[in-house]
Structure 1
Amino acid sequence: MNSPNDAPSATWPYPRWIAHRGAGKLAPENTLAAFRLGASHGFRMFECDVKLSADGEPFLLHDADLDRTTSGHGPAGDQPWDELSRLDAGSWHSAAYAGEPLLRLQALARWLQANGLLVNLEIKPSPGLDEVTGRVVAQAVRRLWTGQTPMPLLSSFNPSALRSAREAAPEVPRALLLETLRTGWVDEALSLGSVAVVAHHAQWTAEGIALAHQAGLKALTYTVNEVACADELWAAGLDGLITDRVDLMGPRSPA
């Protein structure tokens, strides 16, 4: 594997290797168990999804509904944190993780800081809550990471959520998530005050990465699970890579 040095550069404070939802698919996604497993494979940065409970508590969950990854049912944003905190978020994955709870952003912040680890927080609003989710998550990051350097990298597919995050806490860095490098993507990222673009791996070419760099943006990608694909993207100048396969590639991969 053509594995680059994972050390941050002078102009970019984040590691190159990023573990998807904690440890990809090897543990229940977005739980502390997953983050611990990812860290055990040498990862120093993680990607995860943050949304709001009905009473405004930021917590980790990818889907709009609870059914796939918890013992709950229905829209996650309709329930208060007290109810969400009682759910089993591990049994769906395997018996070994039965009883693993959903994770508050506050608890994740404590664990990351205690272990000197970093995070990319994807703002994942429940339907109709784009702006409020961006604002509350950004304000929570400002509060929970006061005095910490670097702060979490906020990202979202939702421009309204990113714009709201910028207005609430402009000092927290942001990245625009894209499924496709649509027309005007560089201008869109810059208009949101982004420091990076995180695009699907099939979208990036050496020319696209160079275009991002010329605009002062870093180029990151999701979700790469094949070594050959990772090698091609590193060679093209990629700045950061999100993967499920923490057991196959990452900071400990041979150069």
Structure 2
Amino acid sequence: MLLWISHRGESADAPENTLSAFKLSSERNVDGFETDIRLTADKVLVCCHDPDTRRTCQGVSHIIEKSNWADIKELDASYSKLDYGPERVPRFAETLQYLGKGKSYFIEIKDNNDEVMDIMLKEVDEAGIDRKQIVMITFHADVVRSYKKKYPEMEAYWLCGIYSDEDKSFDEKSDDVIKIAHDVNADGVDIYLPPHAISKEFVQKFHDAGLKCAVWTVDQCTDAKKWADAGADAITSNCAAKVKAWYESH
């Protein structure tokens, strides 16, 4: 079944990685949402894409890993969405209230730090969330390997991108991606590919290798249709509800 996933919540309409964005996703006809998690200096798991808060918190810069939660929680994370605010950088645990039964939560671990995965799953368990709803994603292949070794029952995708075919063909590069995914025991990949290169053959190659093929970040309806028709397993979008509705009406 194809999953439509809200990237950092419904971030085209609400400030990214805020409770408002996740709440909006939960209210719309999508299959789940995605976030990025980082650990503060005093071991609080928070949702923030960047290593510091400058871009999303009105120019106020705090490096997450060097800052305490007491400082982070005072910031306004409403970004450029003037209809919202003030918004806080949320604790990961707070976001779980908006994960509906049967919905998927794609959680990107930003740092190469095993402690993050342990705290994440502890908070998932404390919230009474079914672990089957959780998909861990990361650009760090070593984190996928560590996660699958420690939690073999959990689903994990390696995040990656193939941006051009200047030095190698897309087919050759997909072979490289599959090799790494297998080496780290990933369940799938969460991949970027230029729209002109999308094909059923590309997706099928991953399926034939025993891997799920999720894709990011797809905001153009026509591109989303290409991926859906090609057989992608999940499509992450800043406007997931919109592209899903457009696809289902076409």
Same fold, TM exceeding 0.5? yes
**Are 1:106 and 2:93 matched, yes or no?**
yes
Q: Quote the residue 2:150 is aligned against.
A: 168
Shift of 1:246: 3.5
Amino acid at match of 2:159: L
Q: CA RMSD in A?
A: 2.3
Secondary structure in 2 matching 1:184: helix
Which runs of 5 or more structure 1 residues have no equivalent in the other structure? 1-7, 9-14
TM-score, normalised via structure 2 length:
0.84
Secondary structure in 1 matching 2:99: helix
Shift of 1:135: 3.5
Shift of 1:19: 1.0
Q: Quote the residue 1:94 is aligned against.
A: 81
Q: 1:22-41 to 2 correspondence within 5 Å? A: 22-41=9-28
Which runs of 5 or more structure 2 residues have no equivalent in the other structure? 163-172
Using the alignment, how far apart are the partners of 1:152 and 1:200 within structure 2?
Answer: 21
Amino acid at match of 2:68: P
How many residues are paired up? 236
Amino acid at match of 2:24: L
Shift of 1:221: 0.5
TM-score, normalised via structure 1 length:
0.82
Q: Quote the residue 1:84 is aligned against.
A: 72
The 1:165/1:204 distance shift into structure 2, 3 A limit, reads: farther
Using the alignment, how far apart are the partners of 1:40 and 1:147 within structure 2?
Answer: 18
The 1:18/1:165 distance shift into structure 2, 3 A limit, reads: same
Q: 1:85-234 to 2 correspondence within 5 Å? A: 85-90=73-78, 92-113=79-100, 117-125=103-111, 130-132=112-114, 134-140=116-122, 143-144=125-126, 148=130, 150-180=132-162, 181=173, 183-202=175-194, 204-234=198-228
Please identify runs of 4+ aligned residues in structure 1 that moved more than 6 A.
none
Using the alignment, how far apart are the partners of 2:198 and 2:127 within structure 1?
Answer: 32
Q: 1 or 2, which has the higher helix percentage?
A: 2
Q: Quote the residue 2:169 is aligned against.
A: none
Secondary structure in 2 matching 1:250: helix
CA contact (8 A) 2:30 2:241 kept: no
Moved more, 194-203 or 244-253: 244-253
